[in-house]
Amino acid sequence: MSLYGIENLPYGVFSGDDGTRRIGVRLGSGVVDLSPLGGLFAASTLNPLLAAGPPAWAAARAQATAVVAAGSSATPLDQVRLHLPFEVADYTDFYSSEQHALNAGRILRPQSPGLASSWRRLPIGYHGRSATVVVSETPVERPSGQLADGVFGASQRLDIEAEVGFVVGVPGRRVPTTGFADHVFGVVLLNDWSARDIQAFEYRPLGPFLGKSFATSISPWVVPLEALAPIPAPPQDPSPHDYLLPPGPGFDLRLTVDWNDTRVSSPPFAGMYWTAAQQLAHLTSNGASVRTGDLYASGTVSGPGRDQVGSFLELTWNGAEPVKLADGTTRGFLLDGDRVTIGGTAIGAAGVEIGLGSVSGTIRPATG
């Protein structure tokens, strides 16, 4: 059974030979053109649909479902080009996997391992760079920067972070956790490429900057929340502040990370400590607004097993324990020419497994 059947129908933007960008839904290994329906589908990005809100989202999904049920033909994906599906407004990245935060602390701050005192009080995050959010298959140039005191050069510790991105549709401020599904349209898979050497030298005390701003890749398909089956969120101790309650839904998303042709990890999203509803509530709790096209990411998804971590920092323990790939070579961090693919599946609202698409990128040599 296809992971991209009528129960899924994620939205994307594609073009064919004439170069015109059209909105479609993925069906099997093809895309069904929705642009003939007009209205919100007669656009070159998903932003008008995102802005239209839940009743319009439900109507659009019903229309797409009807088109597919009527047997509309799908154009094979190898005959189209997939584009960034929406214009990214602001981009925020959280840090909501307890296992990742613990691992990163042990590796990067061995003198003070463990969680920061605020970590269980609020979903920690930082504001990233929306201009460098790119669609899957966009090559990623190795960044250059200050690697240590007085040393400028190409990053030697280029890494990934396997994450889930949430796409905001309806603008808002002070969004309660119960308002999550009124504002958030759907999810993408996201790779927060990270230069650990640049990051390590620059991040104190203000956090990630150039070590992450050079590129963030997302999958070309936005899976609407309507296609996903929510699950109970994990317990939280201590109980969060009132504005972060109720916690909102969890999601049983199962990610995979392939390094070249080797599956190196399978991170489980279901165990994330902070929910996407709490992240949005926190992000807007001070009165800050979100707008259509805002993208906020979960933070690196890491489970308790070494084969469940969402970064190579953790997989190779900062390069100290290299991983062996299928071709017999070993890696600590990314080499030029390496390709990483993050994939994912979920149990959908209809009770069948659905695909979340994938996000891939290949490393090009530094030019600066």
Please pick, among 83, 100, 127, 282, the residue that the annotation labels catalytic.
Answer: 100
* Strand 353-364, strand 140-141: pairing: parallel
Which one of 1-9, 51-59, 189-197, 274-282 is the stretch in contact with Ca ion (CB under 5 A)?
Answer: 189-197
Which one of 24-32, 147-155, 168-176, 187-195 is the stretch in contact with Ca ion (CB under 5 A)?
Answer: 187-195
Size of the site for Ca ion (CB under 5 A): 3
Tell me if 192 contacts Ca ion by CB under 5 A. Answer: yes
Number of Cβ within 10 Å of residue 38's Cβ equals: 9
Is 100 one of the catalytic residues? Answer: yes
Long-range contacts of 325-333 (CB under 8 A, 24+ apart): 325/259, 325/260, 325/261, 325/262, 325/264, 326/260, 326/261, 326/262, 327/260, 327/261, 331/259, 332/157, 333/156, 333/157, 333/158, 333/159, 333/196
Give the closest residue to 230 by CA, choosing from 213, 244, 217, 246.
246
Distance CA 305, CA 277 (A): 26
At closest approach, how far in Å is the CB of 41 from Ca ion? 33
Distance CA 117, CA 316 (A): 27
Measured CA to CA in angstroms, residue 354 lies from 27, 46, 360 at distances of 11, 21, 19
At closest approach, how far in Å is the CB of 273 from Ca ion? 15
Q: What are phi and psi of 341, to 5 degrees?
A: -125, 125
Give me the 132-171 binding string for Ca ion, x by CB under 5 A, dash otherwise.
Answer: -----------------------------x----------
Tell me if 314 contacts Ca ion by CB under 5 A. Answer: no
| Residue with smaller CB distance to Ca ion, 98 or 192 | 192
Q: Which residue is nearest to Ca ion (CB)?
A: 192
| Residue with smaller CB distance to Ca ion, 161 or 202 | 161
At closest approach, how far in Å is the CB of 5 from Ca ion? 31
Measured CA to CA in angstroms, residue 139 lies from 92, 192, 205, 355, 363 at distances of 22, 14, 31, 23, 6
| Residue with smaller CB distance to Ca ion, 343 or 348 | 343
At closest approach, how far in Å is the CB of 94 from Ca ion? 8
| Residue with smaller CB distance to Ca ion, 8 or 216 | 216
At closest approach, how far in Å is the CB of 104 from Ca ion? 10
Q: What residues contact residue 188 under an 8 Å CB cut-off, 6+ apart?
A: 85, 164, 165, 167, 218, 219, 221, 222, 223, 295, 356, 357, 359
| Residue with smaller CB distance to Ca ion, 22 or 196 | 196
At closest approach, how far in Å is the CB of 355 from Ca ion? 23
Give the closest residue to 100 by CA, choosing from 276, 357, 315.
315
| Residue with smaller CB distance to Ca ion, 97 or 316 | 97
On whether the CB atoms of residues 79 and 91 are closer than 8 A, the answer is: no
Give the closest residue to 46 by CA, choosing from 172, 220, 290, 215.
220
Binders of Ca ion among 84-103, rule CB under 5 A? 93
**Active-site residue list:** 100
Site for Ca ion, rule CB under 5 A:
93, 161, 192
